[in-house]
């Protein structure tokens, strides 16, 4: 990345004004035209949202977009939409024992609506507050139940089964943290109360230990900081077996969306830890030890993103993708090219990663560490590209907001347009939602409003 320029959050104001206008129009178009009986909208094909069966992990993003649009614009039609769809369609996600996606679906819907109420943006109604809080409590406990013990720890396993730790899940940890803050716990056999905070921290520690590499010689390919999508364990004895990848190229390269989940997840958890009392961490180790591990993981992942991303802050889909070499030895020194003929970029990795960079940068600056400015500048560079063409979708006939997103390159699920050799020109529901999260984060900073966090859903005014 080329982060030599000194950028300001305020410099993005005009781009965000355009973005919020487009996002509102597209949210309304999807709500009017998409047939939900076919499943949740996942990604676009020829500019129209379609589904792709794996798990229903994107529905909360669709309705979360409406909540965020109301948050920024105050337009009641989006609040009505978010409330109605959350009530009508999200209950199954709260009690879903088969997935690791609770922090995606339920914090994006119930969590955002509760946060907006806490901020006084919508009227205080006891029944409505209780409804959102109960959903988040149950969701946190259900997610925490999906647990695999390992030597000196444990993790919430992916939909692949108890052997599988996904790096993605570092961002679903937040539903456990929210439920804990709301006073809830997981009740086990013999009425044992299991701390959701402890389970979330232990999962994050496992992710930092096994999913993130630090260039410390862990194996023959640990030559620099990176992440692995999936870690495989022997469930009989709790031993780590090997790195693997489902959506990346290999277990020994970095799938950049997985990298971005870790960037944002660890940065958010560092922010969250500051709201937790020392007594709540009893049995986990000292606060200083936990924060040091999270910070090391956040820095390693963000540094990897900066080092392995094109000059404009948009990464290619995997740092080890087999045809990247055909782009030339200097491809990272150039602006990203979504229309090249060899390997696709992934804009969804950029929108998630940008927020991680910005949050880590602010966290460090607030601690008096001037290195934070590097991450702020990197985050602003990625944001500037995301909210500009060719990544911002200005065509109102295209339902997506952010173009050139990649879902599952190895499985060939992404649409390759006529005349192209690689997927491009399409959007994803998670990419669009996280672009709105990023936009809200930046908008609040430039307007000097309340700092936006996922745990705002637990902070009553």
pLDDT tens column, 97-125: 999 999 999 999 999 999 999 999 999 99
Q: What's the CA gap between 175 and 71, in Å, rounded? A: 20
Query: Is 5's pLDDT higher than 80?
Result: no
Under 8 Å between Cβ of 337 and 345: yes
Q: What's the CA gap between 452 and 459, in Å, rounded? A: 11
Q: Largest Cα–Cα distance of the chain, in whole Å?
A: 62
Number of other CB atoms surrounding residue 335 within 10 Å: 12
Could you give the C-alpha distances from 126 to 70, 131, 184, 372, in angstroms and in order? Answer: 21, 9, 18, 41
Handedness of CA 450, 314, 262, 48 (dihedral sign): positive
Look at residue 129 and tell me if it is in a domain. Answer: yes
Which domain CATH number covers 317?
Answer: 1.50.10.10
- In this prediction, residue 53 carries a pLDDT of 75
Under 8 Å between Cβ of 101 and 116: no
Q: Which band of pLDDT confidence, cut at 50, 70 and 90, is reported for residue 269?
A: very high
Q: What's the CA gap between 205 and 152, in Å, rounded? A: 10
Query: Is 52's pLDDT higher than 90?
Result: no
Query: Is 329's pLDDT higher than 90?
Result: yes
DSSP code, position 259: H
Look at residue 428 and tell me if it is in a domain. Answer: yes
pLDDT tens column, 287-320: 999 999 999 999 999 999 999 999 999 999 999 9
Look at residue 216 and tell me if it is in a domain. Answer: yes
Q: Which band of pLDDT confidence, cut at 50, 70 and 90, is reported for residue 262?
A: very high
Q: Which of 74, 82, 61, 66 is nearest to 447 (CA)?
A: 74
**Mean pLDDT of all residues in the chain?**
97
Could you give the C-alpha distances from 461 to 116, 121, 125, 214, 454, in angstroms and in order? Answer: 10, 11, 14, 40, 15
The token pair at 445 is: 């900073």
pLDDT tens column, 426-441: 999 999 999 999 999 9
- In this prediction, residue 4 carries a pLDDT of 82
Query: Is 221's pLDDT higher than 90?
Result: no
Q: What's the CA gap between 150 and 268, in Å, rounded? A: 25
Q: What's the CA gap between 150 and 236, in Å, rounded? A: 9
Residue carrying the six token digits 């364990």: 233
Under 8 Å between Cβ of 119 and 74: no
CB under 8 Å to 418, separation ≥6 — which residues? Answer: none
Domain range for 370: 9-455
Residue carrying the six token digits 């984060």: 441
Look at residue 460 and tell me if it is in a domain. Answer: no
Structural domain count, the chain: 1
Look at residue 240 and tell me if it is in a domain. Answer: yes
pLDDT above 70 coverage of the chain, percent: 100
Query: Is 54's pLDDT higher than 80?
Result: no
pLDDT tens column, 132-170: 999 999 999 999 999 999 999 999 999 999 999 999 999
Q: Which band of pLDDT confidence, cut at 50, 70 and 90, is reported for residue 461?
A: confident
- The helix (H) or strand (E) run that includes residue 148 is strand 147-150
Residue carrying the six token digits 């819907």: 109
- In this prediction, residue 92 carries a pLDDT of 96
Look at residue 276 and tell me if it is in a domain. Answer: yes
Query: Is 454's pLDDT higher than 80?
Result: yes
Handedness of CA 160, 162, 165, 170 (dihedral sign): positive
Under 8 Å between Cβ of 101 and 109: no
Query: Is 335's pLDDT higher than 90?
Result: yes
DSSP code, position 12: G
CB under 8 Å to 22, separation ≥6 — which residues? Answer: 392, 393, 394, 396, 401
Query: Is 352's pLDDT higher than 90?
Result: yes
Number of other CB atoms surrounding residue 282 within 10 Å: 11
The token pair at 6 is: 């000194």
Look at residue 311 and tell me if it is in a domain. Answer: yes
Q: Which of 209, 204, 213, 201 is nearest to 169 (CA)?
A: 204
- The helix (H) or strand (E) run that includes residue 164 is strand 164-166
CB under 8 Å to 251, separation ≥6 — which residues? Answer: 228, 229, 230, 242, 243, 244, 245
Look at residue 2 and tell me if it is in a domain. Answer: no
Q: What's the CA gap between 341 and 460, in Å, rounded? A: 51
pLDDT tens column, 363-383: 999 999 999 999 999 999 999
| Mean per-residue pLDDT, 38-67 | 94
């Amino acid at each position: 990345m080329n982060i030599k320029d000194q950028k300001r959050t305020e410099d993005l104001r005009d781009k965000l004004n355009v973005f919020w206008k487009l996002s509102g129009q597209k949210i309304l178009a999807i709500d009017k035209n998409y047939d939900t009986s076919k499943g949740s909208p996942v990604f676009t094909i020829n500019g129209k949202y379609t589904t792709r069966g794996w798990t229903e992990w994107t529905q909360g993003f669709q309705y979360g977009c409406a909540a965020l649009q109301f948050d920024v614009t105050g337009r009641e039609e989006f609040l009505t939409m978010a409330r109605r769809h959350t009530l009508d369609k999200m209950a199954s996600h709260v009690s879903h024992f088969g997935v690791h996606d609770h922090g995606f679906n339920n914090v994006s819907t119930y969590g955002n609506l509760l946060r907006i109420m806490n901020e006084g943006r919508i009227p205080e109604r006891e029944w409505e507050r209780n409804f959102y809080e109960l959903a988040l409590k149950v969701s946190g406990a259900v997610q925490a139940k999906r647990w695999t013990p390992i030597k000196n720890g444990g993790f919430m396993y992916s939909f692949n089964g108890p052997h599988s730790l996904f790096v993605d899940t570092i961002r679903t940890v937040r539903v456990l943290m929210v439920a804990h803050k709301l006073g809830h716990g997981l009740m086990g056999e013999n009425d044992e109360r299991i701390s959701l905070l402890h389970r979330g921290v232990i999962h994050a520690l496992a992710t930092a230990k096994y999913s993130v590499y630090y260039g410390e010689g862990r194996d023959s390919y640990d030559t620099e900081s990176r992440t692995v999508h999936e870690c495989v364990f022997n469930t009989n004895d709790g031993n780590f077996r090997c790195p693997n990848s489902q959506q990346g190229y290999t277990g020994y390269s970095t799938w950049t969306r997985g990298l971005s989940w870790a960037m944002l997840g660890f940065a958010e958890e560092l922010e969250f830890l500051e709201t937790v009392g020392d007594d709540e961490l009893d049995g986990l180790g000292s606060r200083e030890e936990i924060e040091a591990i999270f910070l090391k993981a956040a820095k390693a992942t963000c540094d990897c993103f900066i080092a392995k991303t094109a000059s404009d802050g948009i990464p290619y889909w995997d740092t080890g993708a087999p045809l990247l070499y055909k782009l030339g030895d200097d491809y990272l020194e150039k602006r990203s090219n979504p229309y090249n003929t060899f390997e696709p970029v992934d804009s969804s990795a950029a929108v998630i990663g940008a927020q991680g960079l910005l949050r880590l940068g602010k966290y460090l600056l607030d601690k008096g560490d001037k290195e934070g400015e590097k991450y702020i500048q990197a985050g602003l560079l990625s944001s500037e590209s995301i909210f500009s063409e060719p990544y911002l979708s200005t065509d109102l006939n295209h339902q997506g907001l952010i173009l050139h997103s990649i879902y599952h390159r190895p499985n060939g699920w992404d649409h390759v347009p006529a005349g192209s050799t690689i997927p491009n020109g399409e959007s994803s529901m998670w990419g669009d939602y996280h672009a709105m999260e990023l936009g809200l984060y930046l908008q609040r900073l430039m307007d000097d409003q309340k700092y936006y966090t996922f745990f705002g859903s637990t902070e009553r005014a």
